[in-house]
């Protein structure tokens, strides 16, 4: 449902077309998504590219669940208050939208897209590192030695660049991505997370950049829902404690006795 809703919104927003979702019970979620994206009004007569379907299917699988990521924790906090599932999923979506979480794949593509050669990319990334700017798509709170999901996305991106060259596949984009990957490993000992090669994979399938994060949402919704059900099975309100680090207790000064000097104390 979410995938169809996202694509209906996208087509209506960009062209005024009212897209028709697939209703074939035998079609996979990935195939239905590609069909509705590429042929919003005549999907029944359209055959999705198998490699594009494979890309979306891999994405749905790899993004489905990932422990207590920020959005998952946010969903559990909401559902722990005995709020409803819709509110919990909405909470998760708002959290995932940020560029330090699910929005990273969009940020990666915006970063890579201008570079039309590996040398240009290396020069630009070196300049970013010199300025201590954040290079999106690298590092992970859990996977310090590299994200295992990245291997799958990298293989798909490479396959698209070779097998679909001239019809969406972009060997230059893949070469740029690989150069940036090697540079970050050499200079910062940092490795790509799932978002880095997911960006070039989606882009070579003709998926608009503004849909990168919504695809993440579609895949992760099953994981969020599972966490919410688990939370409710033995629920306690999630209420983290806090450690106060402000100034020590101060003597109360009545308003009529306050001066500019003691107001600073």
Residues 6+ apart with CB under 8 A from 178: 118
Give the Cα separation of 135 and 158 in Å (integer).
Answer: 21
Residues 6+ apart with CB under 8 A from 120: 176
Closest of 159, 149, 151, 158 to residue 51, by C-alpha: 159
From 52, 140, 147, 227, the catalytic residue: 140
Question: Is 140 designated active site?
Answer: yes
Question: Is 101 designated active site?
Answer: yes
From 49, 66, 101, 110, the catalytic residue: 101
From 11, 147, 170, 195, the catalytic residue: 195
* Rounded CA Rg of the chain: 23
Closest of 218, 228, 217 to residue 84, by C-alpha: 228
Give the Cα separation of 118 and 250 in Å (integer).
Answer: 60
Helices (H) and strands (E) in the chain, counts: 12, 0
Instruction: Indicate which residues carry an active-site annotation.
Output: 101, 140, 195
């Amino acid at each position: 449902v979410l995938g169809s809703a996202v694509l209906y919104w996208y087509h209506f927003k960009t062209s005024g077309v009212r897209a028709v979702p697939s209703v074939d019970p035998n079609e996979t979620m990935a195939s239905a998504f590609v069909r509705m994206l590429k042929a919003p009004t005549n999907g029944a007569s359209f055959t999705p590219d198998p490699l594009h379907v494979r890309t979306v299917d891999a994405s749905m699988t790899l993004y489905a669940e990932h422990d207590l990521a920020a959005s998952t924790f946010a969903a559990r906090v909401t559902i722990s208050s005995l709020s409803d599932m819709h509110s919990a999923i909405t909470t998760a979506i708002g959290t995932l939208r940020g560029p330090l979480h699910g929005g990273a794949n969009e940020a990666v593509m915006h970063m890579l897209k201008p570079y039309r050669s590996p040398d240009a990319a290396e020069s630009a990334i070196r300049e970013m590192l010199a300025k201590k700017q954040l290079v999106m798509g690298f590092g992970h709170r859990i996977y310090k030695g590299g994200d295992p999901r990245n291997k799958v996305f990298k293989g798909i991106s490479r396959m698209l660049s070779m097998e679909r060259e001239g019809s969406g596949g972009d060997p230059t984009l893949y070469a740029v991505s690989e150069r940036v990957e090697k540079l970050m490993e050499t200079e910062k000992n940092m490795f790509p997370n799932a978002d880095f090669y997911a960006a070039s994979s989606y882009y070579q399938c003709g998926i608009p950049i503004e849909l990168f994060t919504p695809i993440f949402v579609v895949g992760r919704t099953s994981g969020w829902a599972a966490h919410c059900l688990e939370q409710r099975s033995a629920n306690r309100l999630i209420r983290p404690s806090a450690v106060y680090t402000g100034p020590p207790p101060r003597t109360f000064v009545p308003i009529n006795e306050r001066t500019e000097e003691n107001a600073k104390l």
